[in-house]
Amino acid sequence: MCGIVGLFLKDKSLEPRLGEMLTEMLITMSDRGPDSAGIAVYASGEAGQGKLTLQAADPGLFEGLDTELSEALGAPVSLRIKDTHAVITLPEAQMAEARAIVKRLRPDTRVMSAGEIIEIYKETGLPGDVAKRFDIPHLTGSHGIGHTRMATESAVTTLGAHPFSTGADQCLVHNGSLSNHNSLRRKLARQGVTVETENDTEVAAAYLTWKMQEGQSLGEALESGLDDLDGFYTFVVGTKDGFGVVRDPIACKPAVMAETDQYVAFGSEYRALVNLPGIEDARVWEPEPATVYFWKH
Amino acid sequence: MAKDDHAPSTLPKYSSTFTPEVNAEIRRAAATGIYDIRGGGAKRRVPHFDDLVFLGASMSRYPLEGYRERCDTNVVLGTRFAKKPIELKIPVTIAGMSFGALSAQAKEALGRGASLAGTSTTTGDGGMTPEERGQSKTLVYQYLPSRYGMNPVDLRKADAIEIVVGQGAKPGGGGMLLGQKISDRVAEMRTLPKGIDQRSACRHPDWTGPDDLEIKILELREITGWEKPIYVKVGAARPYFDTTLAVKAGADVVVIDGMQGGTAATQDVFIEHVGIPTLACIREAVQALQDLGMHREVQLIVSGGIRSGADVAKALALGADAVSIGTAAMIALGDNDPKWEAEYQKLGTTAGAYDDWHEGQDPAGISTQDPELSKRLDPVEAGRRLNNYLKVMTLEAQTLARACGKNHVNHLEPEDLSALTMEAAAMARVPLAGTKWYPGMPGTSF
Amino acid sequence: MQTYDLEADGLRGLNAALQSQSQTTNETAWEVINPRGSHAIAVGLDAPIEVTVKGSTGYYCGGMNAQATVNVHGSVGPGVAENMMSGTVVVEGDASQYAGATGHGGLLVIKGNASSRCGISMKGIDIVVQGNIGHMSAFMAQAGNLVVCGDAGDALGDSIYEARLFVRGSVKSLGADCTEKEMRPEHIAILADLLERAGVDAKPEEFRRYGSARTLYNFDIDNAY
């Protein structure tokens, strides 16, 4: 049970303010999710370069990783440490290889996200504190998704926090509670898809990844999810150039959207949207049940 | 060959799977096409407080004298946020039962008995009656999915508000009251047509989940000036998670109702097959409170099959702050009394087994809206019986607490208990008598 | 006119001030500024006062209202005027889900659209929506009138009891036990009155009426005996 915020910028002049706007939105959702918070941002980098966001309980593990990884890859690598997370920039073509090497070099680090432009930061604690730790207000980008969590059945841990990465440059956040995630987790395991936590949302994320590996587009995967995922949910998903929303057919969990010439915004409550520029004149509406919405740059 | 009348023969053999009871239900279902509806809680045997015993004082601990040496029983509920917490003389409260399910006289009797004993009573899925408010010194107003009769005037008259998410007889189900009991007055209070089979919703109409509940609790506190304790009641299913989330949503008091907890009417399949026994939920709920640093800050009330002072003392020892009784209170008033045996027989049942409370023909005049039957219950006399019963329960609980050397019943601890069965040991996390071990004990293997 | 800055002075002070107004108060006009989507604004009022909220609100604005008139110059979150007893709540913008839920009386006017479950479990309230309403509206609606000048979403009036539903536009689908009913002169009269009180310029004759088929009122038992 949780709060969700999302922002998809149409107006490039707002991009330097993405982190600041998302942070404000996220903090208004603290009551809905006091246990942990997370954010995914999409910020374009250099052509041909990819980003790998890692998490480690002990940030000391990141020391020297850039040099070691660079040697192993035979390519230049840069590393930015932010509290318990590190963003590694490396040649995009060598992403899979880099992940395998990191797993060997630093087995106690976890991959939060991988792709051309995505970065994911998440931790336990109040949303305002989490945003501060990672200096979220200073992040720039074209779109981003944030989440505040009130854990229902799985543990309050960093890895149990949202967003969950669903594949290259993809992520998912969830408000609600799935009722068939255990059997779905077993079904995915038989397909070779591993789910690391007990979290129902990670199962949904893994399900979408699997459907896309099978050849579906994200939109098609979300449509399939309407048949295969039981329970109550509002999902917000991010891709390299887009941002999507879907609610379950009963649609009890709240969702408000706002659109202007400058942006498309999502909030679990209208409160999350009140500081956005021009919100007074925005088109504000609620997404329909069992309907996939998607915006693309 | 001629038949030998004297040869030994086999006895008729009943199946343990297809028992006469099972077969009768199959025939009933085949004939009527509707599931069996009844009142009460789970009737099957489940591990219960009987499977625990107290370790009285002897050489290593010292007992207290009965009567002479004090053993207090008072409890304060709602100390977390409410400006006016509830103070009760005894840790036994009366659970929510609606006017509609019960007659006005029965509701009045509950109020009278509870007030004499110094405890609270609770409304139900049908609003607050003047009789009940008038006779109850401390009244808890239930806030249910149906919102029948809900209004801000009564809300402010209440001493506490209990948001009902579920009940032990049917976690995940809504209320039910069949047409026989929707009299003119009941229909008017619920804004329903007379005589219909009323089904309540299973979710609240204007919030879903703990993140929304937090906002609902804010609204109720704003309407009532932050005075009244807010209870959140759940049916026992996932007590650890449910308790955690109720606390995060802002509850002052968490109420957990085990599967033996009664209902006025619901499907038998729901009563017997959904939810877990009362014994199994206390430690889980207490663990959740302790993990949040909220044990005793947020009070825990446990209900479902509480019958005696022994049950009370054991629930408190496992970490509850108070217990609640429903079925036992009805029996104290006169429900299922053998003096009505002839009439129970006419209804196709027998005293002690009568559970067709939904049909409204209760010979004892308690679970009915029939004016003639209702008259059989004298609210003053029945209230006196309830008070006596509550007094006995309290004296029993004090007796056990003194035997364990406690000057307050809430000083009882799990370590004062010992289990007689493996099941009870596992559920109560109390060592099996004569051992230092229980199944699931951390650091041990089964 | 009393002006209250919600952001500066807090929710508790606002509701305490509004709730303490008596039947004969002289402070009859109140303006709330900076609501910024806050929850539980102007709840539990019980005096003939008029409160204007300048902006959009969160959950349960005007909850359990009695006697008072609450005008929202913006949109409202879930559960506006939930369990209203009497009085009037007018929303200039849109309403989120559960608008007028379980209301016992009074008039709720929504000038924009209302989302899902509008009038859920309503018990006597009158609701007039000038735009459209979402799915599962008037679920288990017991009494009162729901007027929709636009279209209704899926499963309108599912498990409805005795509430009356009037819809001018299309109905995506009717819920269990909800059926179209004849529009008789008394219904035209009720509707005309509601439209007038809500300040809506629409002809009652353009509406269709829906209500309970009453087939779920008693358990359907095929008794073989």
β-sheet bridge partners, residue C178? C212
Q: What is the CA radius of gyration of chain B?
A: 23
| Residues whose CB falls within 8 Å of the CB of residue B123, separated by 6 or more in sequence, listed in order | B96, B98, B99, B132, B139, B140, B141, B142, B158
Instruction: Name A11's Cβ contacts closer than 8 Å, sequence gap at least 6.
Output: A261, A262, A263
Task: For residue B102, give the nearest of B297, B263, B321 by alpha carbon.
Answer: B263
**C70 falls within a domain:** yes
Q: Helix H segments across B191-319?
A: 210-223, 239-249, 268-273, 278-291, 309-317
**Structural domain that includes position C69:** 2-214
3-class SS of residue B373 = helix
Any domain includes C157 = yes
Q: What is the CA radius of gyration of chain C?
A: 18
> How far is Cα A110 from Cα B22, in angstroms, rounded to an integer?
55
Q: Compute how many other C-beta atoms are within 10 angstroms of the C-beta atom of residue C222.
A: 8
CA distance B444 to B437: 8
Cβ neighbours of residue A286 under 8 Å, at least 6 residues apart?
Answer: A254, A255, A256, A257, C96, C97, C115, C116, C134
Q: Is A165 exposed, middle or buried (0-12, 13-18, 19+ CB in 10 A)?
A: buried
Angstrom distance (rounded) from CA B107 to CA C125: 29
Confidence at residue C224, expressed as pLDDT on a 0 to 100 scale: 34
Q: Which residues of A touch B294 (CB under 8 A)?
A: none
Cβ–Cβ below 8 Å for C37 and A274: yes
Q: How far apart are the first and last CA of chain C?
A: 71
A2 is catalytic: yes
C120 in any annotated domain = yes
Residue A256, CB-side half-sphere exposure with 13 Å CA sphere: 30
Which subunits count as partners of chain B given 3+ CB pairs below 8 Å? Answer: A, C
Predicted local confidence at residue B281, as pLDDT: 97
Which one of B203, B211, B238 has the shortest CB-CB distance to A1? B211
- State the amino acid at position C220 in one-letter form: D
- Do residues B354 and B347 touch, judged by C-beta distance below 8 A? yes
CB C181 within 8 A of CB C209: yes
* Contact by Cβ (8 Å): C43, B225: no
> In whole angstroms, what is the distance from residue C84 CA to residue A134 CA?
45
Decide: C152 and C137 in contact? Cβ < 8 Å. yes
For residue range A12-58, what is the model confidence (pLDDT) as tens digits? Answer: 999 999 999 999 999 999 999 999 999 999 998 888 999 999 999 99
Q: Is residue C219 included in any domain, yes or no?
A: no
Mean pLDDT within A118-147: 95
What 8-state DSSP symbol labels residue B90?
A: S
Touching B: C residues 148-177, CB under 8 Å: 159, 161-162
Q: Is the pLDDT of residue C221 over 80?
A: no
In whole angstroms, what is the distance from residue C79 CA to residue B5 CA?
79
Asked whether residue C222 is assigned to any structural domain, the reply reads no
Neighboring chain A residues of C94 at a CB cutoff of 8 Å: 284-285
Q: What is the CATH number of the domain that holds C81?
A: 2.160.20.60
Question: Residue A34: its chain B contacts at CB < 8 A?
Answer: 248
- Contact present, A289 and A249 (Cβ < 8 Å): yes
CB atoms within 10 A of CB C78: 31
Residue C224 lies in a domain: no
Three-state secondary structure readout of chain A: CEEEEEEEECCHHHHHHHHHHHHHHHHHCCCCCECEEEEEEECCCCCCEEEEEEECCCHHHHCCHHHHHHHHHCCCCEEEEECCEEEEEEEHHHHHHHHHHHHHHCCCCEEEEEECCEEEEEEECCHHHHHHHCCHHHCCCCEEEEEEECCCCCCCCCCCCCCEEEECCEEEEEEEEECCHHHHHHHHHHCCCCCCCCCHHHHHHHHHHHHHHCCCCHHHHHHHHHHHCCEEEEEEEECCCEEEEEECCCCCCCCEEEECCCEEEEECCHHHHCCCCCHHHCEEECCCCCCCEEEEC
- DSSP assignment letter at B184: H
Strand partners, C56: none
H or E stretch at C18: helix C11-19
Rounded mean pLDDT, C7-32: 94
CA-nearest of C172, C109, C100, C112 to C138 is: C100
CB within 8 Å of A252: residues ≥ 6 apart: A232, B203, B208, B209, C97
Residue C220: the pLDDT is 60
C16 domain-assigned: yes
Residue whose pair of structure tokens reads 């993405």 in the numeric block: A18
Handedness of CA B309, B310, B315, B321 (dihedral sign): positive
Cα–Cα distance measured from residue C175 to residue A32, given in angstroms and rounded to the nearest whole number: 32
Contact partners, residue B277, CB within 8 Å, separation at least 6: B42, B46, B47, B48, B236, B258, B259, B260, B304, B305, B427
pLDDT of the residue at B66: 84
Check residue A101 and give its pLDDT: 96
What percentage of chain A carries pLDDT values higher than 70? 100
The pTM assigned to this predicted structure is: 0.94
Tell me how crowded residue B392 is: count the other CB atoms within 10 A of its CB.
Answer: 13
Closest partner residue to A232 (CB to CB) among B208, B210, B238 is B208
Q: Which among A1, A2, A285, A288 is annotated as catalytic? A: A2
What ipTM is given for this predicted complex?
0.96
Q: Provide mean pLDDT across the span A236-262.
A: 94
Backbone angles phi, psi at B313, to 5 degrees: -60, -40
Closest residue on chain A to C37 (Cα):
A271
Residue C59 near chain A (CB below 8 Å) = yes
Mean pLDDT taken over chain A: 93
pLDDT category at A166 given cuts 50, 70, 90 is: confident
Distance, CA of C205 to CA of C191 (rounded, Å): 9
Cis geometry, peptide bond prior to residue C204 (ω within 30 degrees of 0) = no
pLDDT reported for residue B1? 55
pLDDT of residue A44: 83
Q: Which residues of chain B have pLDDT under 50?
A: none
* Structure token pair of residue C156: 């309108």
Question: Taking 90 as the threshold, does the pLDDT of residue C75 lie above it?
Answer: yes
> Å from A274 to nearest chain C CA?
6
- Range scoring the smallest mean pLDDT among A17-21, A129-133, A182-186, B441-445: B441-445
Q: Which residues pair with B122 in a beta bridge?
A: B96, B140
Confidence of residue C225 (pLDDT cuts 50, 70, 90): very low
Element (H, E) at B135: helix B130-135
d(CA A25, CA A274) in angstroms, rounded, equals: 8
Mutate to test the interface with C, among A286, A288, A291 (most CBs of C within 10 A): A286
Predicted confidence at residue B329, as pLDDT, reads 98
Structural domain includes residue C223: no
Residue B158 and residue A241: Cα distance in Å, rounded?
A: 55
Chain C residues within an 8 Å CB radius of A269: 37, 58-59, 77
Q: Is residue A166 within 8 Å of A174, Cβ to Cβ?
A: no
Closest residue of chain A to B204, computed from CA coordinates: A252
The total number of structural domains that make up chain C: 1
Residue type, A236: V
Q: Give residue B336's Cα distance to chain centre.
A: 17
Tokens of A131: 């945003």
Are A254 and B214 in contact (CB < 8 Å)?
no
Q: Which of A34, A153, A177 sits opposite B248 (nearest CB)?
A: A34
Q: CA–CA separation, B232 vs B217, rounded Å?
A: 10
Taking contacts as CB-CB distances below 8 angstroms, the residues of chain B near A149 are none
Judge contact between C5 and C34, C-beta under 8 A. Answer: yes
Contact of C17 with chain B, judged by CB distance below 8 Å, is answered with no
Q: Which residues pair with A234 in a beta bridge?
A: A175, A247
Which residue of C43, C67, C223 to mutate against B (max B Cβ within 10 Å)? C43
Q: Are A209 and A167 in contact (CB under 8 A)?
A: yes
Going by the DSSP 8-state scheme, the letter that residue B27 receives in this structure is H
Write out the H or E segment, with its range, that includes residue B187. helix B184-190
